[in-house]
Chain A
């Protein structure tokens, strides 16, 4: 066996070992963001899949470059290639382009299906929590009822406010959500562009003034989570983080709603009616 062939086989074996070990590690590594919502779950799966696909290609390229340099032309068995082949090989190039193209196409298809699944899941109303609105209508429903809990996220410089339109339209500075519920986030802004990012739930949507950005997610896990602002919005952009976002059980959620309504009672008469967007009127202040 020529020195070149030995080297190629050795490097190939090293690559195979690295690829297998890497695949195994990637399969069991806990990737963020986790499984706190259905979106987070599919995002985590996507990141894991991409890493799993990327690692063998990455390691193969590095080993390929190293191997190309190691296989020196001083190897007596490596005859000098004809002048034409030293300058290119159209078949090899076409094969390369074809393989990379196929991988890219596969990734794009998988990504599109994942996106479609998330949206479809929301449309079907997966998740079974039932919430009764103040008007007595069921607004969160079982699999076939398409129910959801709308939560408005109002971003401003420099705080998020949350409003629950179907629960009396009260506002809160803290986000509390019931578990196992489809949530329909309506994200808007009062001034400049912000971005509402609920990290562990995989929820991210830009808050654009006079626009209503809708993001769907189904809560799956109790816990306390962190939200941050994801779009530079001025001086205190970094201070718009909040570590007290909670996903709680159904009963706890009802208790919290009742508490908030009591707290909000004095200001309810001043709150503007619920709308998907708001136009602040600075001239009206301070007169």
Chain B
């Protein structure tokens, strides 16, 4: 995968703000957090690729407890479809 154009094979997990994971396909991509000192509106771009089979429904989710303010950071948005998790539908 590349982060802001630089190829990386791993990052320090404490710098990952979120992750994009598809457990059924073994995809687990950490998404680097934006530095506190970066200017407003700054982003990090992570590019990665993965293969999907011919058809199927796979759920994706973020595995970083990123919902601040609730138990272990896993409440609220982390438990709500459309925020931080959903389904990938492959095929017709």
Residue ranges of A at the interface with B (Cβ–Cβ < 8 Å):
156-159, 173, 190-192, 234-236, 239-240, 266-267, 270, 280, 282, 284-287
Given contacts A270-B12, A285-B16, contact A159 B23 (CB under 8 A): yes
Of B9, B63, B74, the residue contacting A159 (CB under 8 A) is: B63
Q: If A159-B23, A239-B23, A270-B13 touch, does A286 touch B85 (CB 8 Å cutoff)?
A: no
Whether A270 contacts B10 in the complex (CB less than 8 A), given A234-B79, A286-B33, comes out as yes
Tell me how many residues of B have a C-beta within 8 Å of chain A. 32
Q: List B contacts of A235 (CB < 8 A).
A: 79-81, 85
| Neighbouring B residues of A267 by C-beta, 8 Å | 10
> Which residues of chain B have a CB within 8 Å of any CB of chain A?
9-10, 12-18, 21, 23-24, 26, 28, 33, 36, 59, 61, 63-66, 68, 71-74, 78-81, 85
> With the chains together, A155 CA to B12 CA distance in Å?
21
What secondary structure prevails in chain B residues at the interface with A?
Answer: mixed
> Does B23 contact A285, Cβ atoms closer than 8 Å?
no
A-B contact pairs, 25 of them (CB 8 A): A157-B78, A159-B21, A173-B26, A191-B65, A234-B79, A235-B79, A236-B61, A236-B85, A239-B24, A239-B59, A270-B10, A270-B12, A280-B72, A282-B66, A282-B68, A282-B72, A282-B73, A282-B74, A285-B13, A285-B16, A285-B17, A285-B66, A285-B73, A286-B16, A286-B66
The A interface, classified by DSSP as helix, strand, loop or mixed, is loop
Q: Judging by beta carbons under 8 Å apart, are A236 and B59 in contact?
A: yes
Q: How distant is the Cα of A241 from the Cα of B22 in the complex, in angstroms?
A: 13
A285 near B64 with CB under 8 A, answer yes
B62: min CB distance to chain A, Å = 10
Shortest beta-carbon distance from A231 to chain B in Å: 16
| CB-based contact A266/B10 at 8 Å | yes
Q: Cβ of A285 and Cβ of B14 under 8 Å apart?
A: yes
Q: Which residues does chain A contribute within 8 Å of B80, judged by CB atoms?
A: 235
Closest 10 CB pairs of A and B: A286-B17, A282-B73, A286-B33, A266-B10, A282-B65, A266-B9, A159-B23, A267-B10, A239-B59, A284-B14
